[in-house]
Amino acid sequence: MGYMMLRLRFALTVALASLAWIPLTVAASRVKDVAAFEGVRDNQLVGYGLVVGLNGTGDRSQTFFSTQTLANILERSGIAISPDRVRVRNIAAVMVTANLPPFVRQGGRIDVTVSSVGDAQSLQGGVLIMTPLKAANGETYATAQGNLILGGFSAGGRGNNVQVNHPTAGRISNGGLVEREVHVDLTGKSRLNLVLHSNDFTTASRAVQAINQAAGMGVASALDGRTIAVNVPQSYGERIVEFMALVENATIEVDARAKVVLNEKTGTVVMGKEVKISQVSVIHGSLSLQVGTIFNVSQPEPFSAGRTTVVPERTVNAQEEKGRALTLKEGATVEEIVRALNTVGATPRDVIAILQAIKAEGALQADIEVI
């Protein structure tokens, strides 16, 4: 029994030792997550329309273009009226936007977003009248119509109003009907261009290696830091979609420049793992200065000829917080930077100011982007 326990312990020790030598795998991304084939993209559509059926929450009389639109629609239906005589509160002028996906066919359905352009209070319960949706070239590619779905509502009057979320914008699921296709022909393609979402020579080089490893050597070559030329092998001449799927699913390790993103509005600081700093000392403190005026009333003696006067007394109070110092060593990581700044009680806005000062000193090896 003792011999068996000894062998078990020895086997467990060997297993743990072998696990210690297993290299840690780095999370990889697919090519389709960081790049897209040139020409295979969405197309933006926009149109101007009219929403009807509102319960008195539509455009007011000051928004004359909504009544003009209604008059034009009625005129096309054989009813001629003057826009000056139209007084309705159940209509609203809107802009309709949508994205036309690639390879969508005539008769397909797409989602549309409807947004008020006038002074309507709410689009709740409204119905969009058929609206042509055009692309940048002025051609109509789809039409939109249907009942709006809002993520909020508005109730009450001007003096007592309750509003939840945004009641002047909504969506129509499958409300767009495709009338014209965007032709993308992949038949007989011998070369494709793969475009990275962001410019980076390291990522482009790694993508070329991954594609050549998956599809064959010499298939891919980088033209610049964003564009990769992919030659279609003869064996995939009639299976272009299968080849594109093979390229898209090749895995690469994405590289990125060291960057610190600062949002001064919210005090948010985001730093990547590549951010490094040189040795630097930081002294952090604050100065509080308060200036005020106290008005004292001076009363004269009883039965005297004096008058009551107001005497202003100005006060100045300055409080300077004791400076707190810290030293960051060469090559400090993000975790060490955050921990060190927290030890001196730095708030998020203090961190923004400190990081900008460190960058100005030249000790921060990263780009600072303020959003």
Spatial separation of the C-alpha atoms in residues 130 and 70, rounded to whole Å: 13
For residue 108, the enclosing domain spans 43-155+163-178
The reply to whether 171 and 231 lie within a common domain is no
Helix (H, G, I), strand (E, B) or coil at 183: coil
168 shares its domain with 209: no
Structurally, how many domains does the chain consist of?
3
Banded model confidence at residue 361, pLDDT cuts 50, 70, 90:
confident
Q: Is residue 11 part of a domain?
A: no
Average pLDDT over residues 3-27: 39
Residues 232 and 210 in one domain: yes
Q: Reply yes or no on whether the pLDDT at 193 is more than 90.
A: yes
Q: Angle between the 240-248 and 201-215 helix axes, to the nearest 10 degrees?
A: 130
Per-residue pLDDT, 305: 65
Residue 289 pLDDT level (bands cut at 50, 70, 90): very low
Q: Rounded to an integer, what distance in angstroms lies between the CA atom of residue 126 and that of residue 56?
A: 11
User: Are 73 and 167 in a shared domain?
Assistant: yes
Q: Within this chain, do residues 71 and 142 fall inside the same structural domain, yes or no? A: yes
pLDDT tens string 307-343: 777 666 655 555 555 656 667 677 776 667 777 777 7
For residues 147 and 76, membership in a common domain is answered with: yes
Tell me the average pLDDT of the chain.
79
CA distance 330 to 276: 8
Under the banding of pLDDT at 50, 70 and 90, the label for residue 285 is: low
Q: How far apart are CA 343 and CA 284, in angstroms?
A: 11
Tell me whether residue 15 is in a domain. Answer: no
Residue 332: DSSP 8-state: B
Residue 326 has a pLDDT of 66
Same domain for 247 and 282, yes or no, is no
Same domain, 144 and 56: yes
Same domain for 89 and 200?
no
Please indicate, yes or no, if residue 264 is contained in any of the structural domains: yes
Q: Which residue has the tokens 């509502």?
A: 153
The pLDDT tens digits for 242-271 are: 999 999 999 998 887 888 888 877 778 887
3-state per-residue secondary structure call for 137-178: CCCEEEEEEEECEECCEEEECCCCEEEECCCCEEEEEEEEEE
Structural domain contains residue 2: no
DSSP secondary structure of 6-72: HHHHHHHHHHHHHHHTSPPPPP-EEHHHHEEETT---EEEEEEEEEE--SS-S--TT-HHHHHHHHH
Q: Is 350 a member of any domain? A: yes
64, 169: one domain: yes
Do 81 and 142 lie in one domain? The reply is yes
Q: Are residues 221 and 270 in the same domain?
A: no
- Provide the pLDDT for residue 226: 92
| CB-based contacts of 368, cutoff 8 Å, min separation 6 | 259, 260, 262, 355, 356, 359
CA distance 349 to 276: 20
Looking at per-residue confidence, does 114 or 61 come out higher?
Answer: 114
Instruction: Give the pLDDT score at 312.
Output: 66
> Could you tell me what percent of the chain has a pLDDT over 70?
76
Question: What pLDDT, on a 0 to 100 scale, did the predictor assign at position 164?
Answer: 66
In a domain, 329, yes or no: yes
Does 127 reside within a domain? yes
Reported as a pLDDT band with limits 50, 70 and 90, residue 281 is: confident
According to the model, what pLDDT value does residue 170 have?
Answer: 92
Q: Which two tokens stand for residue 16?
A: 């743990």
- Residue 19 within a domain: no
Compute the average pLDDT of residues 217-235.
92
